[in-house]
Structure 1
């Protein structure tokens, strides 16, 4: 952030001219670049802001993936909030969102493939909300996906002071779930505290992955050092054959670089699996009581 220019909001306070503000936030995205900008509610005198967390990564909530069932859940909530605030929705097919909204749809991996080069930072819902004076409110569909157990969904950042927002009407089930989660977490604000060493290790793994990828690119494209040869080398790489040739050349000349990159990638996947196992061991016995 000190080197690359980033866009900043002048402040994170909702304008007093806005009567109602609603913000659907992704619970599961692990990319620091996509961290949400939450409205600051510390000086709010009345309830006019609803910031609610939904299961899924950035585009699972905001839309954009081919399988869009999860994003339609957030869209339905947003439309309901707008309608309750007096906004008339003309030409909107309400039944489409109700029928096709599906919280059990595919939850995409925010750091799959080349996206692994994004900086790793899971969303600490408790800390982010506490900083802005926000009650950590999760949509009821998050609980539905956890309890179903059919998708293996086990988020690690559900805070101990969670409040579940009902999809339609309040239910004793939601209050019971809040109480059970708070008791199960004991003194922890969330499961992220229990995997803190693994988060630290995963960040360092990402750092070394970036470093050795940079070394690999240097050896791959340097050639004889002239601008023309470097430009030609980069251009050739954009073909499938050229990419294979570059990879094979690097493996032959600098195998240690390739091995380190592969090791860092593999280690990051092992750490991810270890963290998910910790989360699953917490949720598995708990869902019987939710």
Structure 2
């Protein structure tokens, strides 16, 4: 059995909404995290970089039949679905190799297609970009997630460290654990796995980078709720008179909002009549950017000083 970044989410931004849907509408959540006794072998490719709380990964509890490996990228970078799919083909190549080891045969051209087009250094998308900003922020604490599932030593794919060493798009993850093993492109243990793990741990322990920026995560979450409140109040201001007008009503209001000209007119009026709302929005946005940059700065400072040594260990 092969799975990619299994999560409990069904697209809803809140865990509470997902739980309500599961309890009262349609039951879809897993009842436990144990691999069925009839499955002989299972592999799980997991995303390092997704930051949506409702997309927290569901790992199997540790079992000798299971191999779970962390890959760079967000949910769809790992599982596929983005226009630039080079990173998802890295996970597919790993999964196909594991399937071949288990005796499954592939069409030769399909194997060649994946190997030729996989690209470790492809675009890493932002899981909370655009409308995704309304998902609650929660970076994946790999050490804690693995501990909760009785996994003593997480497996980190070599592509994570390849991206770090080359500073691709400034890649500097802050959630790597202090103890791990490195898996190579063939699916086995990297020849310098222990050296890489020791090198990172010696510079990182006892606290992970995520522990070091904990003081920024709380205000970032506070700003998220402030932004939600701001969005609701702004939306209410935009639609309040239309909703109160019986000739327009709810559906007429929605039609105006999805109309580019209608929405633009309302936004212009908002700026004209209530410039303070715009100022408040800029303050919230600026505060969020400031906190995020502070966190990213700590991550980047740590990795930038170690990229050269890391690159040598990957040779």
TM-based fold match above 0.5: yes
Decide whether the 8 Å contact of 2:230 with 2:281 is kept in 1. Answer: yes
Aligned mate of 2:281, from 252, 255, 261 = 261
Q: How large is the Cα RMSD of the aligned pairs? A: 1.7
Q: Which moves more between the two structures, 108-117 or 204-213?
A: 108-117
Give the equivalent residue in structure 1 for 2:183: 165
Give the equivalent residue in structure 2 for 1:15: 36
Give the equivalent residue in structure 2 for 1:271: 291
State the shift of 1:170 in Å: 4.1
1:104 maps to 2:125: no
Give the equivalent residue in structure 2 for 1:25: 46
Give the equivalent residue in structure 2 for 1:39: 60
Structure 2 Cα separation of the partners of residues 185 and 17 of structure 1: 40
Q: How does 1:43-122 map to 2 (within 5 A)?
A: 44=63, 47-90=64-107, 93-122=110-139
Structure 1 length normalisation: TM-score? 0.93
Q: Which runs of 4+ in 1 moved over 6 A?
A: none
Seen in structure 2, the aligned counterparts of structure 1 residues 278 and 6 have a Cα distance that, compared at 3 Å, is farther
State the shift of 1:62 in Å: 0.5
1:175 maps to 2:194: yes
Structure 2 Cα separation of the partners of residues 200 and 14 of structure 1: 35
Seen in structure 2, the aligned counterparts of structure 1 residues 2 and 57 have a Cα distance that, compared at 3 Å, is closer
Unaligned runs of 5+ in 2: 1-14, 23-28, 311-315
State the shift of 1:147 in Å: 0.8
Give the equivalent residue in structure 1 for 2:205: 186
SS where residue 151 of structure 1 aligns? helix
Aligned mate of 1:146, from 159, 164, 171 = 164
Give the equivalent residue in structure 2 for 1:236: 256
1:123 maps to 2:140: yes
Unaligned runs of 5+ in 1: none
Seen in structure 2, the aligned counterparts of structure 1 residues 146 and 100 have a Cα distance that, compared at 3 Å, is same
Structure 2 Cα separation of the partners of residues 217 and 150 of structure 1: 38
Decide whether the 8 Å contact of 1:221 with 1:230 is kept in 2. Answer: no
Seen in structure 2, the aligned counterparts of structure 1 residues 227 and 114 have a Cα distance that, compared at 3 Å, is farther
State the shift of 1:240 in Å: 1.1
Deviation readout 1:114-138 (Å, 9 max, x if unpaired): 2111110000000000010123111
Structure 2 length normalisation: TM-score? 0.86
State the shift of 1:221 in Å: 0.8
Q: How many residues in Structure 1 have an aligned counterpart in Structure 2?
A: 285
